[in-house]
Each structure stands twice: as structure tokens, then as C-alpha cells.
Amino acid sequence: MRKILMSVVALLCLAALTTYALWTTQRPVGHYLSDLRVTFEGVDGVPAGRGNLLGVQPELFPADYQSVERLRLKLAGYLQHAQDAGLLNGKTIVVLPEHIGTWLWAVGEKNEFYQAAQRRDAEQWLAASNPLDLLAGLVQAHGDDRFADAYLRMKAARMADQYQQLFGGLAKQFGVTLVAGSIILPKPSVADGRLQTDSGPLYNASVVFATDGSILGQPQLQHFTSHPTRRYVQSLGDAPFNVFDTPAGKLAVLIGTDSWHPASHAQLRQQDVQLLAVPASVLGRGRWSSPWRGFRISPAPTDVALSPREVSEAHAWQRLNEASASLASMTVFMGGHFWNQFYEGQSFARQRERFGQVGDGRGARLINLWL
């Protein structure tokens, strides 16, 4: 009798494990009506044959990342709107926001994952649906937040391929130079024209795609990581910035709060940079209008005449970017929300005395600066 009971228990456990294993492989795609509203904001100027900087501030949600094709269609819709308005040409540089590529870790999950109310609930669905991948990610994880590291690391190689296919494809389709926001990957590099990952620490990286869809140079890594990613993303530290030769001139990329540091802007002046792209993000409902909380890194720069809580987050971004006012620059923020985490920020462009900023409200925003 005891052997029979043990056999029954073993069979039930085997059946349960088999059912669970099959469940983890199922990825049904639900219906989703995407919001393609776009508002255009222009900075004073007219076409002069020198090209333009075009910032695309999208409004994105978890369901936009259920498939790469769904995300591609939404971003292509924004760029088609710009093309119809006469804003795209062979010298156009399109700038997308920080972490637009990082959220590719959400691609291909179960419907319950996208329908979760809280991010922690979504992560529980992610863990339950990818147990072996998560375990492998935890084994290789670096930093203080091992789970945040593992969630990104376990899909890193796939994310790198999806990122290149998506944004390289958009650059080629519309014939523009594309600063593809940023993506967090383990030690990213380009070899033989392909974006690759390694087993090293995570970096926040931005890749620039040429008009034919190929990658220009090497990824630009973030020099100074900031809250909330600094617990699992490595800082590059003191190193020269990449300079990308584009049809519109020499371009540099400062990721997020790298643009707050006077040393960053001093380097760009020494490198004879003409154009600056700043993919950025501000996470937290109401934070854009709240008092600026400072650098929140150690050690903080000592050559910044701005104290925490002296101005709002919005004014801090503008003032800290004035150091490159002689360049044509475009700072683009992420819009939308992912579960209970809301992105805020109003993208802006600057060139000497010329300054423009997008308005507030729902929907995507385009901002254009003619060079």
C-alpha cells in the first residue's frame, strides 16, 4: 500500500511539473488598441540644408512591449507623422529617450504580466514564467540589487538583437540618423556590425544608427549612473565620449544625468562636438515639478552652482544643460507609465539663444530644431 501511495504522489508531482513547464512556454497575445496621438512643437527656424534634430517623446505602456512588432508599428507611426510634416531628410538626427530599449525585457510575456497593477506583481509573473532563465541570471548577477540585474541579464542577448533590428530598421526605413535612446545590457560592444553582450556588469548604453541601418562606432556608455539604477548599473567613469560623424555634423551623446556634469560638457568642447543628443528620463509622479533633489551620488561635483531644493527638477535639467548652449542640443524624455511607475519630463531643444520645449498632456510629442 505504501508503495502504491508513493507512486501516486510521484505521478501527481510529475504531472504538476509537466503542466507548469507547459504553462511557462505559453505566450498568448492579447488585443491592444495603441494610442498614436502626436503633438508637434517647433523651435524657431527654417530648413537651411544643414539638417535638423528631431526629438521623439513617446507615450509608452507595458502592452506596447508585448511584441517587438507592436512597438515598431507605434514608433513608425510617430516617424511617419514627422515625415508627412516634412521633418525628415538625409541630415535629420532623430533622438529617442533613455530606457526605451531597456524595456525590451518585457517582450514576449504572458497577458497577466502586462495586466498587473504593480511592478512587483509583474516581476512575480516574470519569475514564475521564466524560472530557469531567472536562476541563470541570478548566478551571474552583479551589484547590490541582484534581482533587478537578473531580470535584465536573463534576456540580454535577445534584447540586444531586438534593439538592433528595431532601431536599425527604423533608421533605414526613414533614412535618418537615429540615436536609439538607451538600453541596459551587460558589457555591450559592437563586433562585425552586431551589438553584442558579455558576462560583465550592466551598463546603460546608447547606440547610434546610420541612415542605412548600420551601427555607428561603439555604444556610448553612461559615465555617471544615478538613482534608481545605480544599485545594479555600473558607471563608466572618467573616459572620453564617443564622437559620431553624421551627415549633419559631429554628434555626441550624454545619457541622462551625464548632462548634469560640467566635466562632460568640457570634454565635448575639447572634442569639437557640434551636435548633442541627451536621451533622458524622470521617474516618479509629480517629480518634474517637485524640488530638485541634487546629484545623489558620491562624490558630487563641486563646480555646480546649484543646491538641492533650490529649483524644480524641470529647471535643474535646463540650467545644468546650459553649459553646452553653444551646441545644437536635444534633450528627450520618456513618456507614459509602466504599472505604478510614471515617467515625467518635457523634452527641450537649445542652440545659443534659441530654446523650445514641448507642452504637457497626453500623447506623444515631437520637437524639431532646424540647424
Q: What pLDDT is recorded for position 24? A: 47
- Could you tell me the domains of the chain? 32-109+155-370 (3.60.110.10)
Please give the pLDDT value at position 353.
86
Task: Looking at mean pLDDT, say which of 28-32, 142-146, 255-259 comes out highest.
Answer: 255-259
Least confident of 76-90, 194-208, 228-242: 228-242
Higher pLDDT, 334 or 324: 334
**SS3 per residue for the chain:** CHHHHHHHHHHHHHHHHHHHHHHHHCCCCCCCCCCCCEEEEECCCCCCCCCEEEEEECEECHHHHCCHHHHHHHHHHHHHHHHHCCCCCCCEEEECCCCCCHHHHHCCCCHHHHHCCCHHHHHHHHHHHCHHHHHHHHHHCCCCCHHHHHHHHCCHHHHHHHHHHHHHHHHHHHCCEEECCCEEEECCEEECCEEECCCCCEEEEEEEECCCCCEEEEEEECCCCCCCHHHCECCCCCCCCCCEEECCEEEEECCHHHHHCHHHHHHHHHCCCCEEEEEECEECCCHHHCECCCCCCCCCCCCCCCCCCCCEHHHHHHHHCHHHCCCEEEEEECEEEECCEEEECCCEEEECCEEEECCCCCCEEEEEEEC
pLDDT of residue 25: 53
Residue-wise pLDDT for 65-105, tens only, equals 999 999 999 999 999 999 999 999 999 999 999 999 999 99
Mean pLDDT in residue range 356-366? 89
Please say if the pLDDT value at position 218 is more than 60: yes
Q: What is the pTM of this model?
A: 0.91
Spatial distance between the Cα atoms of 102 and 124, rounded to a whole number of angstroms: 18
**Residues 336-357: pLDDT tens digits?**
999 999 999 999 999 988 899 9
2 pLDDT band (50/70/90 cuts)? low
Give the pLDDT of residue 28.
60
Higher pLDDT pick, 134 / 251: 251
Rounded average pLDDT over 276-281:
97
**Of the candidates 30, 34, 32, the residue with the CA atom closest to the CA atom of residue 364:** 34
CA distances from 240 to 15, 251, 353 (A): 57, 13, 28
Q: What is the reported pLDDT for 300?
A: 76
* pLDDT(268) > 50: yes
322: pLDDT strictly greater than 90 = no
Which tens digits make up the pLDDT trace of 119-177?
999 999 988 889 998 898 888 988 888 989 999 999 999 999 999 999 999 999 999 99
pLDDT for the residue 21: 44
pLDDT band at 202 (very low <50, low <70, confident <90, very high): very high
